[in-house]
């Protein structure tokens, strides 16, 4: 609760709002807001939402949901997050914590025999980097084919039409980095 109050106060001060001004916007007394900022009282959900709206932020930001990256930068292998699976069987895993301020997104793609990246990788502004950690992958970039084997890397502009496909019997695993994060 103490950290919530600190976040509210820091955000209010960053916007150069006086305690009295914010309390009027939120619809609570100055003393109630002061109690919240000093962690002597906890706001109702509705009041917290009004505070967030008045500070041009989100409830999540105020409660610290985006501080995970700063406080816990490590992702153990059993903590990677499943994102989606396409029709051909390729699975996409997120290799980092959620953070709306990230400048890149890191994934692991797991291709089963014959599967491809349709519905997972799309053309968009930015850049991409991939590194094959296991298996063999064919990448078609603007109509030109490339074959990557274990240990090979590939870097390209994301606005170019691209698709990847596993070309071996068995699994191919790829670390895929996208910037800006938008998959």
> Model-level pTM?
0.64
Superfamily name and number for 77-179: Jelly Rolls (2.60.120.10)
Q: Per-residue pLDDT tens for 16-46?
A: 999 999 999 999 999 999 999 999 998 999 9
Q: Is the pLDDT of residue 71 over 90?
A: no
Q: Is the pLDDT of residue 100 over 70?
A: no
104-122: average pLDDT = 94
Q: Enumerate the CATH 2.60.120.10 domain ranges in the chain, comma separated.
A: 77-179
Superfamily name and number for 2-63: lambda repressor-like DNA-binding domains (1.10.260.40)
Q: Per-residue pLDDT tens for 76-89?
A: 888 888 999 999 99
Cβ–Cβ contacts within 10 Å for residue 68, how many? 13
Which region among 1-15, 120-134, 159-173 has the lowest average model confidence (pLDDT)? Answer: 1-15
- 99 to each of 66, 91, 110, 114, how far by Cα in Å? 6, 21, 23, 33
Q: Enumerate the CATH 1.10.260.40 domain ranges in the chain, comma separated.
A: 2-63
Categorize the per-residue pLDDT at 97 as very low, low, confident or very high, splitting at 50, 70 and 90: confident
Q: Per-residue pLDDT tens for 152-174?
A: 999 999 999 999 999 999 999 99
Residue 140's SS3 state is: strand
Categorize the per-residue pLDDT at 182 as very low, low, confident or very high, splitting at 50, 70 and 90: low
- Length of the chain equals 183
């Amino acid at each position: 609760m103490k950290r919530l109050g600190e976040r509210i106060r820091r955000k209010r001060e960053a916007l150069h709002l006086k305690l009295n001004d914010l309390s009027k916007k939120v619809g609570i007394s100055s003393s109630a807001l002061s109690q919240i900022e000093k962690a002597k009282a906890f706001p109702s959900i509705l009041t917290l939402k009004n505070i967030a709206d008045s500070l041009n932020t989100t409830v999540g930001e105020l409660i610290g949901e985006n501080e995970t990256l700063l406080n816990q930068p490590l992702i153990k292998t059993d903590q990677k997050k499943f994102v989606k699976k396409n029709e051909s069987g390729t699975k996409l895993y997120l290799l980092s914590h959620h953070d709306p301020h990230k400048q890149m997104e890191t994934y692991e793609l797991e291709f089963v025999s014959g599967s491809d990246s349709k519905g997972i990788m799309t053309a968009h502004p930015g850049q991409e980097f991939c590194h094959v950690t296991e298996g063999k992958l064919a990448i078609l970039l603007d109509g030109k084919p490339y074959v990557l084997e274990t240990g090979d890397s590939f870097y390209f502009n994301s606005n170019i039409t691209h698709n990847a496909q596993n070309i071996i019997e068995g699994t191919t695993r790829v670390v895929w980095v996208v910037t800006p994060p938008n998959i």
